[in-house]
């Protein structure tokens, strides 16, 4: 792997002080699931990963061994060798639903507030900094949602669009915040959304945001972002309530 781009620099950012090999496995698995790291891509070598994550080399070695055993990476020998991504983690829907249930209503509200604030900051910067060809690329990214056929591909398309917004803002700090928020929410979001129907309105929402940005209409862009994120979180809240308080058959 050569020079890291903005998104990749967030994948390989240092881990918290209290850490285990499982934390590295989770970070890399999420990055692959979300399409931030792709099949065929080569990972940095062990000592580079240790420096990036701020951990011991032995911790990195244990994490990579776990990923090998799961069929997600393989290590090849020779001059063109290295550690390469060859597969993707299996989506554990039940685990993701449990993560949703562990989030309180206050936490969901705070997560929505932070996502809205971050996205609004991004569109303001984009309108002042982006070039016309940037909007062409953003529209192509938005339309990939229409090609998604599985929950996993919807997750990757959704993630790519929102991370591209952060990249176009040209703010490293905002990108870091956005990547953290997306890894907390996108996978969970698509456990309650349906591929066949929700991918269409998601793509349409994304295209409305692109159109507003292309026309440099800040008010329209902010409105489109607010409506899109609010609709997502409304679905999350509704799904959480449905699980916690199921409506059973009534006795007449």
Residue 204 lies in a domain: yes
Looking at the fold, whether 74 and 98 belong to one and the same domain comes out as: no
The owner of tokens 């990214």 is 141
Look at the chain and report how many structural domains it folds into. 2
Looking at the fold, whether 104 and 224 belong to one and the same domain comes out as: yes
101: pLDDT strictly greater than 90: no
pLDDT greater at residue 81 or residue 208:
208
Q: Rounded to a whole number, what is the largest CA-CA distance in the chain? A: 75
Q: Which domain holds residue 170?
A: 93-244
Looking at the fold, whether 176 and 202 belong to one and the same domain comes out as: yes
Residue 232 lies in a domain: yes
Looking at the fold, whether 149 and 221 belong to one and the same domain comes out as: yes
pLDDT in tens, 158-191: 989 999 999 999 998 998 898 888 888 888 889 8
CATH number of the domain within which 12 lies: 1.10.10.10
Domain stop point among 21, 51, 85? 85
State mean pLDDT over 149-161: 90
Tell me the pLDDT band of 244, cut-offs 50, 70 and 90. confident
Domain stop point among 32, 56, 85? 85
Looking at the fold, whether 80 and 97 belong to one and the same domain comes out as: no
Residue 252 lies in a domain: no
Residue 190 tokens, joined: 């698509």
pLDDT in tens, 110-146: 999 999 999 999 999 999 999 999 999 999 999 999 9
Looking at the fold, whether 81 and 112 belong to one and the same domain comes out as: no
What is the value of pTM for the model shown? 0.77
Tell me the pLDDT band of 109, cut-offs 50, 70 and 90. very high
Q: What percent of the chain has a predicted confidence (pLDDT) above 70? A: 92
The owner of tokens 């991918």 is 199
Residue 53 lies in a domain: yes
Looking at the fold, whether 55 and 123 belong to one and the same domain comes out as: no
44: pLDDT strictly greater than 60: yes
Output the average pLDDT for the chain.
88
Residue 92 tokens, joined: 């554990």
Looking at the fold, whether 142 and 200 belong to one and the same domain comes out as: yes
Scored b (16 or more CB within 10 A) or e, 207-244 reads bbbbbbbbeeebebbbebbeebbeebbeebbebbeeee
**Per-residue model confidence (pLDDT) at position 6:** 66
Among 66, 59, 65, 67, CA closest to 18 = 59
Looking at the fold, whether 114 and 239 belong to one and the same domain comes out as: yes
Residue 76 lies in a domain: yes
CATH number of the domain within which 184 lies: 1.20.120.530
Looking at the fold, whether 15 and 71 belong to one and the same domain comes out as: yes
Q: What percent of the chain has a predicted confidence (pLDDT) above 90? A: 54
Looking at the fold, whether 144 and 104 belong to one and the same domain comes out as: yes
């Amino acid at each position: 792997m050569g020079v890291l781009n903005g998104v990749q620099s967030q994948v390989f950012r240092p881990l918290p002080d209290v850490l285990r090999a499982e934390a590295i496995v989770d970070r890399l698995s999420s990055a692959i699931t979300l399409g931030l790291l792709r099949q065929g891509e080569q990972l940095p070598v062990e000592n580079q990963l240790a420096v990036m994550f701020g951990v011991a080399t032995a911790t990195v070695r244990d994490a990579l061994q776990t990923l090998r055993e799961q069929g997600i990476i393989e290590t090849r020998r020779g001059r063109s060798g290295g550690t390469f991504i060859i597969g993707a983690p299996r989506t554990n829907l039940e685990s993701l639903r449990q993560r949703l249930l562990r989030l309180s209503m206050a936490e969901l509200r705070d997560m929505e507030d932070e996502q809205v604030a971050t996205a609004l900051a991004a569109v303001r910067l984009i309108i002042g900094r982006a070039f016309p060809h940037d909007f062409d690329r953003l529209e192509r990214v938005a339309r990939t949602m229409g090609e998604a056929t599985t929950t996993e591909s919807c997750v990757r398309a959704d993630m790519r669009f929102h991370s591209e917004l952060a990249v176009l803002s040209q703010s490293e700090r905002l990108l870091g915040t956005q990547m953290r928020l997306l890894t907390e929410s996108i996978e969970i979001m698509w456990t309650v959304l349906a591929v066949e129907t929700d991918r269409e309105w998601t793509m349409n929402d994304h295209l409305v945001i692109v159109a507003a940005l292309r026309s440099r209409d800040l008010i329209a862009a902010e409105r489109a972002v607010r409506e899109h994120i609010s609709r997502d979180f409304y679905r999350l809240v509704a799904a959480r309530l449905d699980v916690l308080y199921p409506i059973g058959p009534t006795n007449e």
